[in-house]
Structure 1
Amino acid sequence: MNSAAPKFQEEYSATERHPSGERMNLEALEKMLAKIKSLPHFVETEPTLFSLGGRGYFENPTTDILAFFLDPAAHHKLGDLALSALLDCLRHDLHEPVLDNTSLCTPPEREVSTATGSRIDLFLESDDWIMVLENKIYHHQNNPFESYRRFANERAGTSNKQPLLVVLSPDGSAPVGWHGIGYPQLIELLSSKLSQAFISQPLNKWHILLREFLLHLESLMNTPKVADKTEAFVLDNLNKIQQALELKNSVVKSLQQDCRKYLTQQFDGKEVGTQLNHWHGYPALRFGFGNWQTDSDVVLFLDARAGNQFAVNYYACQLTTPALRQAAIKLLSNEGCTEYWDESRGTVIGFKAPLSAVDRDSLFRAVRDKLALMDVFEAYRSTL
């Protein structure tokens, strides 16, 4: 490495000039980082198939799915598993044998209109009872419940069917005269019944989808919250945290620029292109020669995720023939490479070489070596 290039330790050993003119004391920064490490951290909820959808948290799609599983005759082949769980919740308030009936006359009805034009979320009817169910994913309840009550009484009519007025909500709250079911209660009962179904019935996709739906509902009811202590610390130290982020950005930018200069010198002035990306929130410094006719490049990935380490990833692109793929694997999968993989339907192969040393000299040399190796492959490609 050229001795004129500043050392990482020397360049940032004492203080760094903040854009505002303030000086950032690294000792204070280290203390702040130690404090951050000791704070309770936000834990993300594991995503489900339903949470990945853009509308998965709205009440209408959730009620649609709930209606499907509440129908014993639907294609899920789970019978009355969901409906019996719902009725079990009601039995805590009602002790009527009428609730033993888990057969429906018709499939559950959605968005049923009342005489006043109001829309009921879900309407169910058996030979013994009718149920008006309002589904409230969130706590706010401002529905025209009296209109719903009149509708239920009218539908019951002279059939001697018992009207059941039910609100399904996070905490089980409901207006006077209505039966409240808390989502946690329903999730617990339904999960228990589903566990038994896993054991007693052949596994099918609907077992999995219902489990995903329950996990999704559970995540909606238990939205992770940042600890008060963590929140207060961040708000009190926003300026320092911003300075730390800007310091990080300036270091990464300097590292990128100096690496490019180093590579240009090492390859006798050959044009080196570079680009800064971020993978999983961490810097990925891309380098490649300007005379390459493909998108192949070498990436210095400063991967600081727990359990990971810095690495040089390098990508052979536009692999249009089996022979070219085999040539890439043969040439590029050595020299410290620990793994390789396909991307873009096999037209790209990525290679990874983890780095044991993270000082500036070692990082630059690792990029240089892979860039030289990739250049050999690109030159070979041009002869085919």
Structure 2
Amino acid sequence: MYSESNDLAALERFFEKLALLPKPEPLTPNLFSVAGPGQNENRLSDLMAFFMGGYPGAPHWLAKAVLHALVRKERFDHDHLQQVDWEAVTTEREAGSWNVESESIKRLDLLVSGNNFVLGIEHKVWASATNNPFYAYDDLLKSYEVNIYKCVLCPDDSKEGVQAPATNAGWPTLSYSEVLVSAYELYGKDVAPSDQTKWQIFYQELLQHLTSIAHPTEEKTMTKVELNFSLKHFNDLYEASQRLEQFEQELMAEGKSHIAAALQIATSDIHTKKKPEIWSEETRVWRFFPSAWSNTGASQICLVYYPSSESEGDESIGFEVRAYLESQVSSDPWLKKIERAFLKVTPVTKHPDCTWYREGHGNDTWPETAGRWLALSAWPREYTKTGAMKALGDLAKWVDEHAFETETNIADS
């Protein structure tokens, strides 16, 4: 026999188990992912060129990894690899030559040259290769009169817009993962023993950064423990998500009722969206638009909510109430008068005569959208859901009286 209380008790036991899950360790940030080239093709090519011997004194580690990866694919001769003088290897960025057919200079992303070879690399992160002049790149490589090799370097998940044009032009593709396999195999032999300790650290960061780009669809968002827990308790998770949706709809309905009662209008005269707006990972907001306010644009009253351990009741949710007033002109005196009145009437500490209060540190009001909007922010005096609803209705009434009722409008006072 179905019992709502039994369902809720089971859900509460699930939450108790959920609370026992160990918190995941924060991910170690990667320098090049956070503050470096990211996935910018040109900047990433610059960084690759450096580790391909692109500057005097720079290491050749990445160039060696690329050549070894091409040997694995039978796209570079093994005997030629054994004869490479690595100290003579250099890499040029944007190597160009005049193309007679187009009467312009065509540039190749990376050109690696050594004592017995030249390797042309066209680097594609997410851009298409459809319009790349591979014929011009071939002419450039032929001018070197040594053993010629070529490839299109790209992430593993590169699209058909890279694969097809490269294949049609006779340029093999080389994935990041294929290069990374060689790079890590060579690391202990070439990188670890090196006395270039500074470059070792940056090279390792580059390899990790390329790994994150190589398989973006495979990046993990859960630990194995979390994944197994979710698989085991999927039904509970689904029910919890349904309860959350019901709860948010309840907040919307109750908010409408309090605003309607305060303004003495029907709830049908207050418009909202079907779902709350998400401001951040944890913060959500219901926006309420009384139809009587629509003559000034999108003026509204808002209920902001988020997880909080500071509730004064047996709750784990926090609330803020806001109002947004819109004018058709910037720095409207009407908005300035409302702002002054709000700051005057709103106490900076909890007061029994007012259901809301403000911080008092200059963060209670602010302009938005080139001064055409005014935001008013306040906290419920009683920091609970009940207190938030009272504050929401009372703030809506205050805004209505001071901004939209002509007989009490402060512009006339």
Do the aligned partners of residues 104 and 356 (structure 1) sit closer, same or farther apart at CA in structure 2, a change above 3 Å counting? same
Query: 1:316 & 1:360 partners in 2: Cα distance?
Result: 24
Structure 1 gaps of 5+ residues are 1-14, 18-22, 73-78, 110-120, 139-150, 175-179, 197-211
Offset at residue 367 of structure 1 (A): 0.2
How does the TM-score come out when normalised to structure 1?
A: 0.59
Offset at residue 101 of structure 1 (A): 4.1
Query: 2:246 & 2:370 partners in 1: Cα distance?
Result: 36
Structure 1 residues 216-259: Cα deviation after superposition (integer angstroms, max 9, x where no partner): 54633683342222122222222222222222222322232233
Query: 1:267 & 1:285 partners in 2: Cα distance?
Result: 18
Letter in 1 for 2:400: D
Equivalent position SS for 1:366: helix
Structure 2 gaps of 5+ residues are 69-80, 97-107, 127-137, 154-173, 311-316, 348-356
Equivalent position SS for 1:302: strand
User: Does residue 289 of structure 1 match 2:280?
Assistant: no
**Counterpart position of 1:277:** 276
Do the aligned partners of residues 229 and 48 (structure 1) sit closer, same or farther apart at CA in structure 2, a change above 3 Å counting? same
Equivalent position SS for 2:264: coil
Do the aligned partners of residues 102 and 16 (structure 1) sit closer, same or farther apart at CA in structure 2, a change above 3 Å counting? farther
User: Does residue 337 of structure 1 match 2:358?
Assistant: yes
Query: 2:19 & 2:191 partners in 1: Cα distance?
Result: 35
Do the aligned partners of residues 261 and 122 (structure 1) sit closer, same or farther apart at CA in structure 2, a change above 3 Å counting? closer
CA-based RMSD of the aligned residues comes to 5.2
User: Does residue 251 of structure 1 match 2:247?
Assistant: yes
User: Does residue 99 of structure 1 match 2:86?
Assistant: yes
Do the aligned partners of residues 134 and 270 (structure 1) sit closer, same or farther apart at CA in structure 2, a change above 3 Å counting? closer
Query: 2:340 & 2:31 partners in 1: Cα distance?
Result: 40
Do the aligned partners of residues 343 and 250 (structure 1) sit closer, same or farther apart at CA in structure 2, a change above 3 Å counting? same
Query: 1:171 & 1:306 partners in 2: Cα distance?
Result: 49
User: Does residue 316 of structure 1 match 2:325?
Assistant: yes
Instruction: Choose between structure 1 and 2 for higher RCO, CA contacts under 8 A separated by at least 6 residues.
Output: 1
8 Å contact kept, 2:46–2:93:
no
- For these two proteins, the number of residue pairs brought into alignment is 306
**Counterpart position of 2:111:** 124
Q: For structure 1, which segment, 284-293 or 301-310, has the greater mean C-alpha deviation from structure 2 after superposition?
A: 301-310
**Counterpart position of 2:45:** 67
8 Å contact kept, 2:93–2:110:
no
1:170 to 146, 158, 177: 177
Give matches, 1:159-308, under 5 Å.
159=146, 169-170=176-177, 172=179, 180-182=182-184, 192-193=198-199, 217=210, 219-220=212-213, 223-269=219-265, 272-275=269-272, 276-279=275-278, 280=280, 282-292=283-293, 293-294=295-296, 295-304=298-307
How does the TM-score come out when normalised to structure 2?
A: 0.55
2:19 to 37, 45, 59: 37
Equivalent position SS for 2:183: strand
Equivalent position SS for 1:351: strand
8 Å contact kept, 1:69–1:82:
no
Query: 1:221 & 1:305 partners in 2: Cα distance?
Result: 38
Do the aligned partners of residues 328 and 289 (structure 1) sit closer, same or farther apart at CA in structure 2, a change above 3 Å counting? same
8 Å contact kept, 2:84–2:114:
no
User: Does residue 378 of structure 1 match 2:403?
Assistant: yes
